[in-house]
Amino acid sequence: MTPAAKSNRHAVARALSFLLSARDSDGWWRDFQTLAGPSDEWVTAYTAWSISGIPGGEIAAREALDLLKWRWRDGFGYAAHVPVDCDSTTWFCRLAEKLNDTAGKEYRGSLDFLRSSVRSNGGVPTYPSAGPIREFTRLPQSAGFQGWNSTHTCVTAAAASLRGLKQLPQLRSFLQRVRMLDGGWSGYWWVSRAYPTLLAAEALGVGMSPWAERCSDLSSFGLACRLAMGAPVEAQVMSLQRANGSWQGSAQLRIPEPQVTRPAHGRCRITVDQNHIYTTATAIRALHEAG
């Protein structure tokens, strides 16, 4: 084994140790402090998916899948008290597929929810209807939700990689239509373009190494996404790993007001993964694949 490969394996092992210890006493990964509190269902599904193919991570991933199944209610949400959304549900389905656990009602029912949410333009919204999320936010009937109910590139990109939705080519057609002039993609919920570009490129099966090399995002999260797209930044990613095995939380979650359809031009709250879980999950996945 080369010195570089040994360094990669050591970094992955340290990151896995951090993530396993970062679970709360009830087994959930929680991150991103918002007005709705921290996320558990979405963050747990994403983190478990990220470590499920790593030696030593599969048991924790299966435990997370079982926890999520107990919470199933047609799909999954940001957290238990927040209405079901397409993004959180997608990451549960991606986890179930990665663990080959797709026979249960939770996976099949979640796929049904996602299929029924696809819009006529081929895109997937975060919240298919305004009613449940309006009730949760306690906003008046006069408040618009056209932003949160519209199709989102980042959500569509995550869903388009699902084996269970491969029979819906309109998802990939949507992603091809909204691709930007520089070859990348822009997300609704994310400040960095590296993350939605990674998700869309994986869904379409296109190489993005040149785009990732040109990208100027030097945050831990951005570098991890760029590494996963093939940019030669493995050494940079490993150099930013902290003593406890994590990477500084730098996944900037952008939360526009519900009526905002163009978040780059509207009022938004920005929060990062203060518990460093989402960034570390992204980095460990990228390093494991690079190694």
- Evaluate whether 213 touches 231 at the Cβ level (below 8 Å): yes
Q: What is the mean pLDDT of the chain?
A: 97
Residue the block writes with tokens 């390093």: 287
Segment 215-240, tens digit of pLDDT: 999 999 999 999 999 999 999 999 99
* CATH, residue 215: 1.50.10.20
Contacts of 3 (CB under 8 A, 6+ apart): none
Report the amino acid identity of residue 204.
L
- Evaluate whether 217 touches 223 at the Cβ level (below 8 Å): yes
Segment 159-191, tens digit of pLDDT: 999 999 999 999 999 999 999 999 999 999 999
Segment 268-289, tens digit of pLDDT: 999 999 999 999 999 999 999 9
Residue 220 corresponds to which tokens in the numbers above? Answer: 């831990």
Say if residue 1's pLDDT is above 90.
Answer: no
Contacts of 184 (CB under 8 A, 6+ apart): 193, 197, 208, 211, 215
Domain ranges, residue 236: 3-290
Segment 42-62, tens digit of pLDDT: 999 999 999 999 999 999 999
Residue 70 corresponds to which tokens in the numbers above? Answer: 């107990």
Task: Write phi, then psi, for 280 (nearest 5 degrees).
Answer: -65, -40
Segment 2-52, tens digit of pLDDT: 888 889 999 999 999 999 999 999 999 999 999 999 999 999 999 999 999
Residue 250 CB-density burial (10 A; 0-12 exposed, 13-18 middle, 19+ buried)? buried
Residue the block writes with tokens 């879980």: 277
- Evaluate whether 54 touches 284 at the Cβ level (below 8 Å): yes
- Number of structural domains in the chain: 1
Question: For 191-207, what is the mean pLDDT?
Answer: 97
Task: Write phi, then psi, for 118 (nearest 5 degrees).
Answer: -65, 130
pLDDT the model gives residue 265: 84
